[in-house]
Amino acid sequence: MSEEWSGHALNTLSRAGFRRGGARQAVIRALADHGCAVTVFDLEKDLRSRGTEVGRASIYRALDQLEKLDLVHRLEIDKQMASFERVEPDGEHHHHLVCDRCGRVAPFADPGLERAIGKACRDSDFEVQNHDVMLRGLCSNCA
């Protein structure tokens, strides 16, 4: 779990004029425990299992605010439901391998890929702010 990230998140929220409500802090604590993408459902389950009841609406609201402040990143990994993951303050990040059979999500990092993406961004006429790479197929168990 990332103390560093939660501190950063709470500070950024304060600076943006938000108060430290219980629901928001609970969501941050739960996200800090996940190094990779979590669905809103799993997040809610986590919160419940640690004894923190948080209304679903508050979860969505917190995630929205965190996303706007670039503290979390939204991913559509599952067709059904949104997933979110922490954005590391130092810019470190990974991408995702998704198994279409069992749904397993595995993170991976690849410097060569990052370089190629950097070049593609520079070649484009967009001002690219972030990027996602998703590799889909079968995991080693399902293949």
Under 8 Å between Cβ of 128 and 122: no
Please tell me whether residue 121 binds a copy of itself under the rule CB under 8 A. yes
- Kindly state the number of chain residues that form the binding site for DNA, as judged by CB under 7 A: 24
Query: Which residues lie across from 75 on neighbouring strands?
Result: 83
25: partner contacted, choices DNA, a copy of itself, none (Cβ within 5-8 A by kind): DNA
Binding-site member from 23, 36, 69, 138 for a copy of itself (CB under 8 A):
138
Task: Please list every residue from 66 through 85 that binds a copy of itself, using CB under 8 A.
Answer: 74, 76, 79, 82
Nearest-approach distance from CB 110 to DNA, in angstroms: 28
Please tell me whether residue 103 binds DNA under the rule CB under 7 A. no
Structure tokens at 134: 């998703």
Distance CA 105, CA 134 (A): 10
Q: Which window, 49-57, 95-103, 115-123, 124-132, contacts DNA (CB under 7 A)?
A: 49-57
Integer CA distances (angstroms), 114 to 37, 84, 92, 97, in order: 19, 21, 11, 15
Distance CA 48, CA 51 (A): 5
3-state secondary structure of 122: helix
- Which residues have a Cβ under 8 Å from the Cβ of 4 and sit 6 or more positions away? 89
Binding site for DNA (CB under 7 A): 18-25, 40-41, 53-58, 60-62, 64, 79-82
Return residues touching a copy of itself (CB under 8 A): 74, 76, 79, 82, 95, 97, 99-100, 106, 108, 110, 112-113, 115-117, 119-121, 123-140, 143
